[in-house]
């Protein structure tokens, strides 16, 4: 053990005076802004919702840390940048984390890493289904009123692993073993769902089963809401298209270019190249064409939109398929389908800004140590915990004014500027005082966020 009262070595003098630094400050915290997330979590009640889905096998009379408190501690740890469960060893003594869990700074310490690990390994498959539905309920509860229509962006992302985890699979494209979870966000960046799965492209039957469970959970809350599903080309499977049409879902999927599709735009490509060559200084030329066609595996012809672009690098043709009957091809592609690209930023916020740096010598995958449990059920539960932390920071961002740069700030920026604030805690008989730095550059933003808490949907 290192004695915290020993001075730190190697510090140079300042203006001729010796500098002495020790880790003996007492009740200090580097996460003073965490109390803002505490207020958000109290309104969203994510920890309570998730805990209600888990059967606690412990003796109630001997239980020190309720499931909701363990989950809440873990959510706040992830949101504050402590993604490794081992960080609980030191943070369980942190006075601000104690206050965030309704405990006095001088009160009982929070749960340890071993308690968190036991919780992560507790849920079985049925419990995970309930947890997934609870997250959908959090999503539906984030609206002030039932929307007329929602847009769901579905995508998958590679997660490298470095152990003998269940469901791990070698992926030749990434040249590594890992998972490839499917994640869903809505058009505004709200987290909807995530499912852990092997590192391979999902087949149509698997996607259809996933969509069936997800849409059933959403329509349990909103029976009549209109739903538009957007996804990349490998989700445009016959099983998925047929199921969407049979269940009243609109869809907008990319299509992989084939020789059959390209025959429809041969003339358009030639005329687009001619337009560009006539005036190269005007930049790339983009044109659109609509037609109806069917792949060999489809049961019927469907509306397809082609986007043809010509520039100095040659031509580039892209295709989408949809069952939407309104809107021009240009607007469907540029104004609706291209917005699906924002899902990549949402995945980055969930995967990278709420993840951890890899160990030295490993591939730069921030989840390299996050889905490290042997059991697939434990790793799925970890995805849900990261989803809960995503909701905390996403909600913090929505408290900012619409035209403010804070409204589009990345999660790591929010954490660095609004959460990582030094605090000295003084516990008195009738109150608890937090002394925050007078020089904190974004104290006005913290005040603004707390003042706007009543606007948060609960």
pLDDT single digits (tens) 369-400: 467 788 999 999 999 999 999 999 999 999 99
Residue 74 confidence (pLDDT) above 90: yes
What is the per-residue pLDDT for 4?
65
pLDDT band at 362 (very low <50, low <70, confident <90, very high): very low
Mean pLDDT of 416-438: 94
| Sign of the CA dihedral running 52, 223, 381, 165 | positive
What is the per-residue pLDDT for 458?
60
Look over the chain and give the mean of its residue pLDDT values, rounded to a whole number.
91
- pTM score, two decimals? 0.91
Residue of 139, 181, 138, 143 whose CA lies nearest to 47 = 138
Q: Which residue has the tokens 């942190």?
A: 94
**What tens digit of pLDDT does each residue of 174-206 get?**
999 999 999 999 999 999 999 999 999 999 999
pLDDT band at 361 (very low <50, low <70, confident <90, very high): very low
Contacts of 67 (CB under 8 A, 6+ apart): 51, 54, 56, 119
| Range(s) of the chain covered by CATH 3.90.350.10 | 125-353
Q: How many CA atoms does the CB half-sphere of 73 hold within 13 Å?
A: 34
pLDDT band at 366 (very low <50, low <70, confident <90, very high): very low
What is the per-residue pLDDT for 282?
84
Contacts of 96 (CB under 8 A, 6+ apart): 29, 31, 32, 34, 35, 423, 425, 434
CATH of 125-353, one of 3.50.50.60, 3.20.20.70, 3.40.50.300, 3.90.350.10: 3.90.350.10
pLDDT band at 7 (very low <50, low <70, confident <90, very high): confident
What is the per-residue pLDDT for 367?
45
Residue 227 confidence (pLDDT) above 70: yes
Q: Which residue has the tokens 């609980």?
A: 88
Q: What is the 3-state secondary structure (H, E, C) of the chain?
A: CCCCCCCCCCCCCECCECCCCCCCCCCEECCCCHHHHHHHHHHHCHHHHHHCCCCCCCCHHHCCCCHHHHHHHHHHHHHCCCCCHHHHHHHCCCHHHHHHCCCCCCCCCCCCHHHHHHHHCCCCHHHHHHHHHHHHHHHHCCCCCCCCEEEEEEEECCEECCCCCCCCEEECCCCEEEECCEEEEECCCCEEEEECCECCCCCHHHHHHHHHHHHHHHHHHCCCCEEEEEECHHHCCHHHHHHHHHCCCEEEEEECCCHHHHHCCHHHHHHHHHHHHHCHHHCCEEEEEEEEECCCCCCCCEEEEEEEEEECCEEEEEEEEECCCCCCHHHHHHHHHHHHHHHHHHHHHHHHHCCCCCCCCCCCCCCCCCCCCCCHHHHHHHHHHHHHHHHHHHHHHHCCCCCCHHHHCCHHHHHHHHHCCCEEEEECCCCEEEECCCCCCCHHHHHHHHHCHHHCCC
Residue 327 confidence (pLDDT) above 70: yes
Considering the chain, what percentage of its residues have pLDDT values greater than 90?
A: 80
What is the per-residue pLDDT for 24?
83
* Residue 299 burial (10 A CB sphere; 0-12, 13-18, 19+): exposed
**What tens digit of pLDDT does each residue of 24-55 get?**
888 899 999 999 999 999 999 999 999 999 99
């Amino acid at each position: 053990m290192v004695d915290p009262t020993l001075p730190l070595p190697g510090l140079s003098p300042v203006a001729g005076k010796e500098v002495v630094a020790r880790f003996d400050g007492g009740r200090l915290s580097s996460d003073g802004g965490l109390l803002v997330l505490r207020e958000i979590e109290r309104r969203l009640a994510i920890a309570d919702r998730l805990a209600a889905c888990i059967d606690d096998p412990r003796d109630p009379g001997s239980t020190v840390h309720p499931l909701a408190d363990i989950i809440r501690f873990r959510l706040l740890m992830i949101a504050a940048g402590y993604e490794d469960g081992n960080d609980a060893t030191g943070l369980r003594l942190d006075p601000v984390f104690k206050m965030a869990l309704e405990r006095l700074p001088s009160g009982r310490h929070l749960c340890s890493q071993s308690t968190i690990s036991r919780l992560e390994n507790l849920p079985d498959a049925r419990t995970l289904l309930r947890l997934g539905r609870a997250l959908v309920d959090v999503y539906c509860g984030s609206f002030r009123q039932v929307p007329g229509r929602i847009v769901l962006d579905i995508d998958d992302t590679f997660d490298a692993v470095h152990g003998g985890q269940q469901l791990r699979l070698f992926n030749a494209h990434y040249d590594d073993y890992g998972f490839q979870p499917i994640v869903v966000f809505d058009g505004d960046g709200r987290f909807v769902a995530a499912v852990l799965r092997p590192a391979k492209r999902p087949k149509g039957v698997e996607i259809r089963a996933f969509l069936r469970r997800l849409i059933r959970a959403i329509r349990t809350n909103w029976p009549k809401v209109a739903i538009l599903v957007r996804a990349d080309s490998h989700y445009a499977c016959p099983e998925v298209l047929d199921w969407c049409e049979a269940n009243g879902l609109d869809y907008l999927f990319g299509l992989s270019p084939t020789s059959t599709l390209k025959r429809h735009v041969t003339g358009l490509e030639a005329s687009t190249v001619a337009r560009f060559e006539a005036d190269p200084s005007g930049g790339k030329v983009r044109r659109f064409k609509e037609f109806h066609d069917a792949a060999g595996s489809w049961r019927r012809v469907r509306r397809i939109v082609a986007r043809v672009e010509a520039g100095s690098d040659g031509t580039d043709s892209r295709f989408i398929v949809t069952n939407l009957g309104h809107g021009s091809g240009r607007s469907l592609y540029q104004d609706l389908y291209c917005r699906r690209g924002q899902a990549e930023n949402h995945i980055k916020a969930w995967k990278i800004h709420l993840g951890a740096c890899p160990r030295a010598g490993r591939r730069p995958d921030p989840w390299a140590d996050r889905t490290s449990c042997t059991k697939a059920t434990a790793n799925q539960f970890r995805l849900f915990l990261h989803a809960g932390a995503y909701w905390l920071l996403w909600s913090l961002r929505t408290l900012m004014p619409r035209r403010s740069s804070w409204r589009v700030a990345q999660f790591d920026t929010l954490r660095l500027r609004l959460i990582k604030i030094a605090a000295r805690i003084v516990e008195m008989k009738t109150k608890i005082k937090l002394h925050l730095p007078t020089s904190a550059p974004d104290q006005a933003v913290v005040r603004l966020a707390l003042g706007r808490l009543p606007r948060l949907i609960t």
